[in-house]
Amino acid sequence: MDRRRREFLFELLETGAPTGFETAAQRVWIDHCSDVADDVRTDAYGNAVAVHEGDPDAPTVVVTGHGDEIGFVVRRIDDDGFLHLSRVGGTDKTVSRGQQVTIRTDDGPVSGVIGQTAIHLRDGDDDEVAEITEQYVDIGAEDGDDARELVDVGDPLTVASGVEALEGARLTGRAMDNRVGTWSAAEVLRYAVENDVDATVKAVSTVQEEVGGNGAQMIGFDLDPDAAVVVDVTHATDTPGLAAKRDVDVALGEGPSIRRGLPDHPKLVDALRTVADEVDVPVQLEAASNTTKTDANSIFVQRGGIPSVNVGIPTRYMHTPVEVIDTSDLTGAVDVVAAAVERAEEFAPYAVEP
């Protein structure tokens, strides 16, 4: 991964933007896309779209990731100055206590910690994991009045961890889910522009995926593409203790996954598999049964059916502050999707033949 790509990825990952409060990360994404896109726009709720205008007779392909991340919100401030929480998205109660956090107020960031009673002071019953609503943040305030001068009810929080390089091509940090998807969409757009591909490419960074794919429902109808490629994280199952519980075999460093099943359109699956082989990028097949918890579920039912497919970035420890990816999987996903977009007209039309 070259320096430009790496700096863009790190900037996205280190920008806090929980569901419903995505503006900061969307601004980073828009700034990078504006360098190459023919048009960049946002909608009323902050979905961001960057466009490469291709041949009017060629297909239009949406490539999308979601820009929001899990987090917390301040539910109330007590008279002792502690902040009480609710979760935003699927925040994991088992890893939240003892974490440094950043409260994102209108006046700027405020630092805090989610309290954890010292092991010396706990008895056996205290080792049970408290619900998020029973956890609290200590910002060092003297009392409630002091805290309320700094923080408002409804302010969002994210864990304060950044990005760290591990061995080889691996990175760890929060918000891999799913800034790696928005990064991928932007990089495919850049490829389309630099190679003047015939297809019109609409790169998208959606909002509110972690609470039900709301942003994708809005934007899927509005964009009305011929096809949509949704890039999101997928569970890597190559860690200790998971062997008996694996739904699928997905490993870091073995390439992006291509999902097969509902709502993944078979012609798009075949297209991605074909170009992956031709550009010599390894891919992993992943079976889906009834549904996926990605924006593809929101997009494929729009306008009578938009052919859609999921491309997954294998990720360990999802929905924790230490998510781990292999950047070779990430760049591989861009290479495969970009190749499919470049040959979009060859694989069209995408409708199932009667």
Binding-site residues for Zn(2+), in ranges, read 66, 177, 210, 232, 319
CA-closest candidate to residue 5, choices 330, 254, 273, 244: 330
CA-closest candidate to residue 296, choices 248, 228, 233: 228
Cite the DSSP H helix spans in the chain: 3-13, 23-34, 144-150, 176-194, 214-223, 266-278, 296-299, 327-342, 344-347
CA-closest candidate to residue 257, choices 181, 321, 323: 181
> What gap in Å lies between CA 346 and CA 268, rounded to an integer?
12
Which residue shows structure tokens 């097969």?
260
Query: From the annotation, which residues make up the binding site?
Result: 66, 177, 210, 232, 319
Q: What would you measure as the largest C-alpha separation in the chain, in angstroms?
A: 70
Give the active site residue among 22, 69, 187, 209.
Answer: 209
Residue 209: active-site member: yes
Which residue shows structure tokens 């979905």?
47
- Distance between start and end Cα atoms, the chain: 43
Active site residues: 209
